[in-house]
Amino acid sequence: MPRTVPLVYVVPPGAVAAVVGTNFGGPDHPLWVANLEAEPRATWQVDEAIEVTARLATPEEHRALWTRFVDIWPGYESYVERSRREPRMFILEEL
C-alpha cells in the first residue's frame, strides 16, 4: 500500500534527490526509512511523479550533503544531538 511522506530534500549531482530520516530527533529512525530499506523502489513527486530507487548515501555523500540540509533547516543539528544517532540518508535515482 503506497504511503505519502512530505520530506525536505536536496538535489545531489546525478540524482533526483537526497532525503534524510531525522524523525525530529526521536530515538528511532522514522518508519519510512525501514520501508525504503525493505523496498527501495518508490515514487518521488514534486511536480511530476518519477519512479526511483533509493540507496543509502555513502559516508562521503552524507558528509557533503548534510551541510546542505542544515543550511535549509538548522534544527537538524539539534535532532542529531537529541537522538544520538546519525540519520540515514538516501539518494534517490531515477529508474
pLDDT tens figures, 8-42: 999 999 999 999 999 989 889 999 999 999 999 99
Q: How many structural domains is the chain composed of?
A: 1
The structure's pTM equals 0.93
Structural domain range at position 32: 20-87
How would you write 43-75 as a 3-class SS string? EEECCCEEEEEEEECCHHHHHHHHHHHHHHCCH
Cell numbers representing residue 44 in the block: 518521488
Question: What is the spatial distance between Cα 23 and Cα 11, in angstroms, rounded to a whole number?
Answer: 20
1 pLDDT above the threshold of 80: no
The CATH number of residue 65's host domain is 2.30.110.10
Residue 1 lies in a domain: no
**Could you read off the pLDDT of 58-80 as tens digits, one per residue?**
999 999 999 999 999 999 999 99
